[in-house]
Amino acid sequence: MSDAAECIFCKIVSGELSCQKVYEDDKVLGILDIYPFAKGHCQIIPKRHVQWFYDMEDEEIAHLARVAKLVANKIKKAFNPDFVCSFVRGKRIPHVHIILFPIFEGDMLDRFFGALDLVQLFPGEIAKLAPGSVARKIRDA
């Protein structure tokens, strides 16, 4: 895990760096991304420094997800996108964060995710790789 003293999100949480807040409570901060892909592109971050969502306490991850849902609904209301995409990161910035992107039909993000659809394996293809072994390996871990 990275050092919280060097973490950009921890510096934002502490007030050392400025941000555009969209939500805040005692455990979570929602901010606009400084390099957005779309209007309303946000980061939802826990105030406690932790790199990976699976290292968070159950109640922390549940609260983080509830806040992401709340902010996603606010983005939907404010900008009326077709939908709001979300995913969890912690690699490039080693502090877990949920990214929220409003997606509009035909925009760059819609085209990007559409391109991903073209390279994904079809459900039947993964079964051909090793019938049942992938699911069994995860279940048994």
Please give the full DSSP string across 37-69, using - where no structure is assigned.
SSTT-EEEEESS--S-GGGS-HHHHHHHHHHHH
What is the sign of the dihedral through the CA atoms of 7, 11, 17 and 19?
positive
pLDDT value at 122 more than 70: no
Least confident of 22-31, 38-47, 69-78, 107-116: 107-116
Give 68-86 pLDDT, tens digit per residue. 999 999 999 999 999 999 9
Average pLDDT rounded to a whole number, residues 116-137? 64
CA–CA dist 20, 71 (Å, integer): 14
The type of residue at 100 is L
pLDDT value at 54 more than 80: yes
Average pLDDT rounded to a whole number, residues 22-50? 94
pLDDT-based confidence at residue 33 (cuts at 50, 70, 90):
very high
Instruction: Determine whether 49 is an active site residue.
Output: no
HSE, side-chain direction, 13 A CA sphere, residue 81:
22
Give 59-69 pLDDT, tens digit per residue. 999 999 999 99
Least confident of 5-9, 51-55, 111-115: 111-115
Percent pLDDT > 90 in the chain is 58
Q: Which of 41, 49, 95, 97 is catalytic?
A: 97
Pick the CATH number of 4-104 from 2.160.10.10, 3.50.30.40, 2.40.480.10, 3.30.428.10: 3.30.428.10
